[in-house]
Amino acid sequence: MPWVRADPDSRGADIGGRIAWTRNAPARSATQPRDPPRQLLRRRHVRQQLEAKATKAAMIVSAVRWSLLVVAVLLAGPLATLAFGPVSLSRDWRTASNRSTRQAPDPATHPEAIVQVYASRTYGWRGAFAVHTWLAAKPAAAAGYSRYEVIGWYLRGGGSAVSVSDGRDPDAQWYGPTPQLLREIRGADAEAVIARLPQAVAAYPYAGTYSAWPGPNSNTFIAHLGRELPELRLVLPPNALGKDYFPLGQAFARTPSGSGFQAPLGGVLGVLAGADDGFEFNVLGLVTGFGLRPPALKLPGIGRVPG
């Protein structure tokens, strides 16, 4: 910055007329902002911090609201089933009915091989959320059926949760509720399934463990049989909680029907799509979606609508 001679009439000259020298400071543009004071910068920084915190808080509140809304929607079906559906909270399991519902063909008049898959509401309040599934099979010319299912309390004696028994009616009530027939095949197709059934049962990897939620449980077992025996073309209902259970390391699998694929995440999250299955979205084991064959809505707790 150069030194220049000051204007004599300006404050740069002294009284005695001596020449004063002053720095020639560059002129400030009219549009050039002045340097803000440090206090103003501090206030601006505080305001920005407060705005960032407010934005973050608003995002958290919005996420919580959406999460609560999703949970409320998912629980609406089970709560409606608990209030108005075929679920009893007062029934004693020791006196609950396990009588035959006469849905299975009589072996005396139906000598052909038969395979059936049933689903019935689970006992007590759990029935608002899930069904229990099992498979019944009768070889050709056999005098009766064998039931294949997983029963959790069998583990209490240190045994296997997998039960293969001919001492229970194939279509019996499950401690009160009447079962629904999900699938039936007869003749040569049934014989092919029955021939491979022992191997499929032996290959079930969770015979020594049971968990009602998210699995493995009875529905995990029947879903396993469906994948091992694609001739069944088995489509399980959306409230067969546990059918989508897989260990966390497995992220891709065929559906039990064999007509599609699913991407599970430990049975608590996942999606499923298939020609026979339709589309399903799993959140915490509660499934929503739609079916294609036949067309139907899939609702948590309620199941297929129409059934």
What is the pLDDT of the chain when averaged over all its residues? 88
State which residues form the domain around 193.
Answer: 114-305
Does 7 fall in a domain?
Answer: no
**Domain contains 67:** no
Separation between Cα atoms, residue 15 and residue 128, nearest integer Å: 103
**Cα(211)–Cα(294) distance, integer angstroms:** 31
- Report if residue 31 sits inside a domain: no
| Domain presence at residue 239 | yes
**Single-letter code of the amino acid located at 211:** S
How many angstroms separate the CA atoms of 197 and 65, rounded? 48
Q: Which spans in the chain are helix H?
A: 38-84, 188-202, 218-228
- Reported as a single tens digit per residue, the pLDDT across 78-89 is 999 988 888 888
Closest CA to 303 of 149, 143, 122: 122
Is 213 inside a domain boundary? yes
State the SS3 of 135-168.
Answer: EEEECCCCCCCEEEEECHHHHHHCCCCEEEECCC
Confidence grade of residue 29 (pLDDT, cut at 50, 70, 90): low
Percent of the chain whose pLDDT exceeds 90? 64
pLDDT greater at residue 4 or residue 185: 185
Query: Structural domain tally of the chain?
Result: 1
pLDDT above 70: percentage of residues in the chain: 88
Q: 61 in a domain, yes or no?
A: no
Q: Is 282 left (phi over 0), alpha (psi -120 to 50) or beta?
A: beta
CA distance 73 to 151: 30
CB contact burial 117-151 (16+ within 10 A = b; e otherwise): bbbbbbbbebbbbbbbbbbbbbbeeeeebbbbbbb
Any domain includes 63? no
- Averaged over 147-172, what is the pLDDT? 95
Whether 18 shows a pLDDT value over 60: the answer reads no
Check residue 146 and give its pLDDT.
Answer: 98
User: Is residue 133 in some structural domain?
Assistant: yes
* pTM of the complete model: 0.80
Encode pLDDT of 38-96 as tens digits. 788 888 888 888 888 888 888 888 888 887 877 787 889 999 998 888 888 877 888 99
Band the pLDDT of 272: cuts 50, 70, 90. very high
- What pLDDT does residue 25 have? 52
Mean pLDDT of 259-271: 94
Q: What pLDDT, on the 0 to 100 scale, is given for residue 12?
A: 46
